[in-house]
Every structure is written in C-alpha cells, then in structure tokens.
Amino acid sequence: MKIETKMNAPNGAGDDVRAATAEMMAAFEALKTANDMRIEEIEKRGSSDPLLDTKLKRIEASLDKQRTTLERLSLDHARPAIGDDPRKTDPEHKSAWGSYLRRGDDSGIARLDLKSVNVGTEAQGGYVAPPELDRLIEQRLMAASPMRQIASVRQTSATVFRKPVSLGAVSAWAAEAGARAETTAPTLDLLEFPAAELYAMPAATQTLLDDAYADVDEWLADEVEASFSAQESAAFVTGDGSSKPKGFLSYDMVAEGSHAWNKTGFILSGAAGAFASTDPADKLIDLVYSLKSQFRANARFVMNRRTVSAVRKLKDGDDNYLWRPGGAGEAASLLGYPVTEIEDMPDVAANAFAIAFGDFRRGYLIVDRQGARVLRDPYSLKPYVLFYTTKRVGGGIQNFDAIKVMKFAAS
C-alpha cells in the first residue's frame, strides 16, 4: 500500500475538508505507530502479533475510506458552480421563507427573486417552495403511494416530458466479405407525459404559526400528503389523462393474442365476474406467462384488498394455498411473485380488470415537475390561514410489453 504523508486541503475548502484531512492524518500517524511496533515484534521474535496485524488492517481500511471521502470533498469544492439556485439553503432564505409562512411577509422572498407566476395567466401563482419542502413532500408521497414505490419516478423542469421509444429496426446476417443490403430506419414512437396541476389547501390557525417551536414546513408537508397521495393513487390507476396522469387501466385493452403497441394485453379469468370454477389458478399462471421473460424477473401482482381476500383462498391441486404471507420486511407473494395492494384497483366484477401483473418499474413512468408552489391566503376563511399548495405531476405507461391484466369474463 502506497501512503502519501502530505496532503493539503484545497484553497477555499470548507471545514468539512479540513476535518477530513485532520482525521486522515491522525489515522496515518496511528498506522505508522502500529507498523513500527509490528516491525519491532518481527525483529525480536521472528513473527508479528496476530492482534497487531488485525489492528493494522483496520487502520488501513479506515485510511482508505477517509482518503476516498477527502478526494470527493475536494472535487466538490473545486467543481465550478453551474448557475446559482435561487432557492439554495442559506440563513437569509430560510428566514425569508419562514417570515412568509408565519406572518405573510414576502419582502424577503421577493428580494430573492423566488416569485412564480401561474402559467397562462397574469394572476400571482404564489412562491416557489425551497428544495427542502419539495423533498419533504416527495418523501411522504413515496411512503404513502404504492405506485410511487413500484413505478419509475422522473424529475423534470418541463411542462411535458417526452420520451422517444424504439419499436425495432431491421437487421440481417451477412458473410464476412458478403454484400450488405441497406437496412430501413428504425421505427420510433414519441410518448408524451404532460404534468398536470395537483393542489391542496390546508388551513392553520395563527396561533400555530406564531408558535416558535412549530416546524411549519413539516406541518405543511404532512397536511398535503394525504390529499396529494389519494388523488395521485387514483390517477395512476384509472386517470383519464385529462388534466391528470393517465392510469395504466385507462389504455385500450386487447386480448393478449392480439396484443399490439399502445394497447394493454389481458387474460380472461374464465368466468364472468369470478375465477373459473375448475382449476382457477391456471388462469393466474397464464397471466404470469403472458409477460416476456425479461419482465418477469422483477414483476409483481397488483390488486385491491378485496381481491387479495379472494386470491388468498385459492389452492393448487395438492390442496396447498397459492398465497405465501410475507415476513422479515418482505411482501406477501402469489405464485412466487410479490403482491402490492392498491385500493384504487377495481373489485372483482363482470368485465373488471381487477388484477394486474408486470414489471411496473419498466412499465409505468411518473413525472414530477420540480418546484412546488405555496400561496398564503389569510382572507378567504378567517380566522384560518389557507396555504394553497400546488405541484405538477404526470404519468402513463412507458412500455406496453411490461404490464398485463386479468379481465374477469368468460369470453
């Protein structure tokens, strides 16, 4: 191991770099002392103490870790800034945001150029929330929304997120010196995910806002979580795409044998509004194998709790339940695949698409436009203060091969 004995913190480095440097140099001194003792032991006894060897290895591992940390911090300090974030965390901004939420004093925020205007109108649209509040809201939505936990989530600054998808290109075999015919251009489809506005309007008393020990950002994130998560969950499953995300059950459905791009394939349950009376589990197996092998590895079942209740009663030919309860942090499984409960999935009924199966991480995309906005309104509902909070969210299927559904019908 090659050890450098001299390393200076870069010019302008912060306290974190200096602290990391000091820790590294202290570890190096400990390494030298331990290594000197080891050499002394070898000279006296012809071998080293195993405990001393173990200590040396621990110090070397610690030194390597501190070196990596120091190099990363040095690079961070040396990296040039790419534009200033007007919402960057600093005491002035934190104080200005707190003054706005608690007292309605927007002079500090206006000075920091944080004002945002509602797109398409001249009306004031509130103030862009600091990144910390954005993250608080996103963390709570991630914990509360099953779809956010299993789908892909993308951040964007655009009103519409566009994703080109290749539908395949023509290719051919050729000998080493053989002629090669010109291949046709690949076929592309452009998927668009517009971000629609989602809003909530929690109310607070002025007494709460005047309480110096109350964390208003935490309170606001908690309040909007319930409203946002309920609206999002329904939209990600059944939303029609009009001023809201398009749910994965809102696309054109087609029998799996006739499946085509831009449509979702389905498998019949074998009975109207129920599982088939004979070998009901066979249709679940058909649903699993309607998915291509590359999507089955990370696939899961999605259904509501009433459908879960019905599925848990299904048995195989040896009278064993198909359902396996989860344990030690693992989800319950059906036919070896995890199950996610989403209350907005339809109940088992005639022609209902009550069970979905697929790799939702590759199949469904959620788009969050960065920057929640907050408009303080102390006038509309006196003596309460309303906080009109908005964020923009979009969503839709990004891979129609990755999600299949079961239709509860005989034909």
pLDDT tens, 77-132? 554 444 444 444 556 667 778 788 888 877 777 665 544 444 444 345 677 877 77
Q: What percentage of the chain's residues is helix, strand, coil (to nearest 5)?
A: 35, 25, 40
Among 361, 363, 357, 360, smallest CA distance to 398 is for 363
The residues spanned by each domain of the chain are 15-78, 88-127, 129-168+188-411
Q: What are phi and psi of 273, to 5 degrees?
A: 70, 20
Q: Are 142 and 149 in contact (CB under 8 A)?
A: yes
Q: Report the SS3 class of residue 35.
A: helix
Give the DSSP H or E segment for 38.
helix 15-45
CATH number, span 129-168+188-411: 3.90.1690
pLDDT in tens, 365-410: 999 988 888 888 888 888 889 989 989 999 999 999 999 999 999 8
Range among 185-199, 321-335, 355-369 rated most confident: 355-369
Q: Tokens 């110090």 — which residue?
A: 59
C-alpha–C-alpha distance, residues 53 and 42, integer Å: 11
Q: Are 350 and 409 in contact (CB under 8 A)?
A: yes
Q: What is the 3-state secondary structure (H, E, C) of 56-122?
A: HHHHHHHHHHHHHHHHHHHHHHHCCCCCCCCCCCCHHHHHHHHHHHHHCCCHHHHHCCCEEECCCCC
C-alpha–C-alpha distance, residues 143 and 395, integer Å: 18
Q: How many CA atoms lie within 13 A of 213 on its CB side?
A: 0
pLDDT for residue 87: 44
DSSP code of 365? E
Say if residue 383 is preceded by a cis peptide, omega within 30 of 0. yes
DSSP code of 240? B
| Angle, in degrees to the nearest 10, between helices 216-238 and 91-103 | 80
Whole-number mean pLDDT of the chain?
A: 81
User: Per-residue pLDDT for 316 more than 90?
Assistant: no
**Mean pLDDT to the nearest integer, 276-282:** 88
C-alpha–C-alpha distance, residues 38 and 300, integer Å: 56
User: Per-residue pLDDT for 45 more than 90?
Assistant: no
pLDDT for residue 184: 64
End-to-end CA distance of the chain: 71
C-alpha–C-alpha distance, residues 398 and 396, integer Å: 6
pLDDT for residue 142: 86
pLDDT for residue 280: 87
For residue 117, count other CB atoms closer than 10 A to its CB.
12
Q: How many CA atoms lie within 13 A of 300 on its CB side?
A: 22
| Angle, in degrees to the nearest 10, between helices 50-78 and 15-45 | 160
C-alpha–C-alpha distance, residues 254 and 388, integer Å: 41
**Mean pLDDT to the nearest integer, 229-243:** 92
pLDDT for residue 17: 63
Q: Are 1 and 60 in contact (CB under 8 A)?
A: yes
Cβ-based burial of 73 (10 A; exposed 0-12, middle 13-18, buried ≥19): buried
Among 361, 338, 292, 350, smallest CA distance to 152 is for 361
Q: How many CA atoms lie within 13 A of 353 on its CB side?
A: 22
pLDDT in tens, 156-199: 888 888 888 766 656 677 777 777 776 666 667 788 899 999 99
User: Per-residue pLDDT for 267 more than 80?
Assistant: yes
pLDDT in tens, 155-168: 888 888 888 876 66
Q: Tokens 């839709």 — which residue?
A: 396
User: Per-residue pLDDT for 75 more than 60?
Assistant: no
Q: Report the SS3 class of residue 292.
A: coil
C-alpha–C-alpha distance, residues 151 and 366, integer Å: 7
C-alpha–C-alpha distance, residues 263 and 257, integer Å: 12
16 vs 383, higher pLDDT: 383
What's the whole-model pTM score? 0.70
